[in-house]
Chains A and B, each alone.
Chain A
Amino acid sequence: MTTADLPLPAGSDQPARPATQALSHHLVHTALVRWHFAFAVVFLLTSMTAGFLVSLNFLGHYPFENTSWLAVGRLRFLHTNEIAYGFLVNGFVGAMYYAVPRLTGKPVLSKNLGWVILAVWQTLVVATSVGQLLGFAQGVEWGETPTGFRPGTWELNYIPVDFLIELGAVLVAAQFLTPLARSINRKMYVTGWYLTAGIVWLVLTYVMGNTLPEWNLPGASGAATVGLFIHDLVGLFVTPMGWGLMYFFVPIILRKPMWSHALSVIGFWALAFFYPLNGVHHFLLSSIPMSVQYGAVISTMAVEIVVTTVIVNFFATMSGRGHALRTNLPIRWFYTGMIFYFITCLQCAFHTSLTMQKTIHFTDWVPGHAHLVMLGVFAFWIFGIITWLWPRLTGNEWYNRRLNQWHYWLTMIGLLIMFVDLLAAGVIHGFLLDSLAPWMDIVNAMKPYWAVRTFSGAMILIGSVLWTVNLVLTALNPKPYDYRVDLVDEVESTGPHAGEAGAA
């Protein structure tokens, strides 16, 4: 890889820039970055609040039992959908407005289109949530966005959100594929591969999951497609976006290139090939033909190899910069996320065996696993990206850097508690199922674990609230920001002076 392929470190492209000015780059529309991040954080909070409320039901004290539009079942849709479409998409799109023009040397298609996308997308996320709360959800997991049609018919009963989201996704694709296609480097850097493919996959995956199982593919074949949709949404949209941005931000912050280009290539192509083949592992031991199930099992195990190459590459890149984990909070978010990613994927390789499926499927083990991925990996990365960029975007020094540390520790420890708690609950659920214990024995056995889950959820929610307060106050309180405090110095080892570059 030549250095021309590398994204330039932030700031170094305009050496004459005074150290204390808000970021400006002739190609980057900072206002769009800021607004997408702001909406991402709003939906993060509403989604987490919904999750927290749902957890109260499991303690036997749900305060809104008689309010149909705050029903537990409906809030659960909102919890997952706002995280996926409200938080993750806004976070990724915001980060792409920052990264793509810098990477390609070309502006996005149109700034005005950017404002249209911003407005349309938020409207759709809100329309999704409102539709779900009013009782128009669609029966596809992670895709409960209302089709607007009665299932299997063409009778319209609500805003056809699905089709509009497809349209929105096409606009996003046009916005970012244009600069990626016209990049000044004929050979794209790794980030470009991931983002390009991820955008195309988003459009295809969304169309597939929101039309075929409803109108074309019945029963077991529909289930196979639903599994594929669930998996592609995470594996072919969220994952490539996340890794693409890691390949962009990690070298910038650490100020050194990735360790191995060959590993980057293997990681990308193996992801593209194996990941989508995993879909059916969401419905193992079902009536989907066994040949299809075994295919999914084997490719799921193969993914573990891919993951290892990527992790090795990133941790090798870290060599000589280990102190950044202590001194640089964004790097700490990123690398904690990568460790969780490794754990998650290692889990997958075992989960997918039919022996383990037998016990853990249908139990809280799976939500435990899902929280480690969606929160522990991708949300952590977006937290890191926003934390890295926010002072640059506003030009203001953090209102309070310690609040960011609180955010990290509350979220990280809260998540670990939740994870271990739900895994334990899942195993017990699985064995009680096998034992033919009466159903209420299973429910009662889960209750202590559900209490711990609510507690850990509260920790995570509080962490995010503190961070949000910090983001808002930072934006409102002008205080000169010197970006040099956040640069990772190039010492070879963690010397005694390393920590002084700025406490995160």
Chain B
Amino acid sequence: MDRFANIIAFAGLGCFALAFALSGLYPYLITASTRPEASIAELAQDVPATFHELKERFPVAFAAAHAESDAALTARELAGMQDGDPRHDASEAAWQAAYARALQHGRDRYVAEGCWHCHSQYVRPVSNESVRFGPVSTWVQDHNALQRPVLWGTRRVGPDLTYEGRLRSNDWHVAHFLKPKAVTPGSVMPPFPWFFRDGWQVHRRIDPEVAERTGLSADTSYPLPGVYDTQAEAESALGRAQQELPSSLAAERERLFVTEGNGLNQDGLAMLAYIQWLGTWMPPENEPE
């Protein structure tokens, strides 16, 4: 047995193959091979209200991320429409396509940011986990294309996220991504400011007298419509805005300034869509054999 060829054959190849057969192939044969894996398109069939909301809240980033965004109509736009209008169906398809793309992109960011090293996605049948997080995980539920590779994780610095979707509002997550410590005092989750910069915007600082009267900080400002790719473009928009102001409001001109946009960007949108999706998809019932 201490010859080179034997070591290669029995230890190098043999033992490795045996282990792979028993702990890789065998579980595959008795689980995954028995039913088709759900594709991302299937996972994105039901587009939730939280995703619709993103288009209204972050229109610039949404349009940049989703070419279909013109066809994907908001609830308000759809409301005024006749029954049987073809734009209804087109809108539905556009939403599903956008949602599927966002889920995939969001999963990619979830992997790349290492969320899965602080959060698990599997609920065990012990330690009251089903009380704390939700039903115990089954393999069927993870038998989908967003679990490639599986994002079960091995460490819980933060809570399990298997059923995170719909648990909290979009606004909660947006604030949490920007400043976890502000939302949950003492949190050790890092902030993700790079989910936010989506270009440059013109802002208008509040009138100091109004601030005084209403008790707001004098630094409070509101964005004017429009997000620009470069600072220079934003500066020229600022110039235009200043010219448009009547001379009676000259003081207002001084209160306009250019700053980096702080809405969600494409990465942030996708991340949010993914987090809100978690645990909302349930596998179709097993067909009787």
Contacts and interface: CB of A to CB of B under 8 A. Distances in A.
Given A430-B127, A434-B127, A436-B131, A222 B190 contact: no
Interface in B137-192: 137-139, 141-145, 147-159, 181, 184-188, 190-192
Contacts of B248: none
B124 interface: yes
Nearest to A75: B114
A221 interface: yes
Nearest to B113: A73
Most interface-central of A77, A135, A226 (chain B CB within 10 A): A135
A119 B261 CA distance: 43
A276 B19 contact: yes
B31 A289 contact: yes
B23 A136 contact: no
Interface string A183-218: 100111000110011001100110010001111011
Contact of A60 (B30, B104, B188): B188
A74 B114 contact: yes
Contacts of B24: 208, 212, 217, 221, 224-225, 228, 279
A138 B149 contact: yes
Contacts of B104: 150
Nearest to B267: A135
A218 B144 contact: yes
Contacts of A232: 16, 19
Given A219-B143, A440-B187, A139 B12 contact: no
Interface size class of A (residues with CB under 8 A): 35 or more
A219 B32 contact: yes
A285 interface: yes
A218 B4 contact: no
Contact of A292 (B26, B114, B116, B118): B26
A287 B138 contact: yes
Interface string B181-210: 100111110111110000000000000000
Contact of B150 (A197, A222, A364): A222
Interface size class of B (residues with CB under 8 A): 35 or more
A362 B155 CA distance: 4
Given A66-B193, A227-B23, A287-B137, A138 B111 contact: yes
Contacts of B8: 196-197, 200
- 9 closest A-B pairs by beta carbon, nearest first, are A73-B114, A276-B19, A200-B12, A220-B139, A221-B28, A213-B149, A139-B111, A287-B139, A272-B11
24 contacts: A58-B188, A65-B191, A71-B192, A73-B113, A135-B112, A138-B149, A197-B8, A201-B12, A218-B147, A221-B32, A224-B24, A224-B27, A236-B16, A276-B23, A277-B18, A277-B23, A286-B122, A287-B122, A287-B138, A288-B27, A289-B31, A359-B127, A434-B127, A443-B157
Interface of A: 57-58, 60, 62, 65-66, 68, 71-74, 76-77, 135-141, 150-152, 180-181, 183, 186-188, 192-193, 196-197, 200-201, 204-205, 208, 212-215, 217-228, 232, 236, 265, 268-269, 272-273, 276-277, 279-280, 282-283, 285-289, 292, 295-296, 354, 357-359, 361-364, 366-367, 429-430, 433-436, 439-440, 443-444, 450
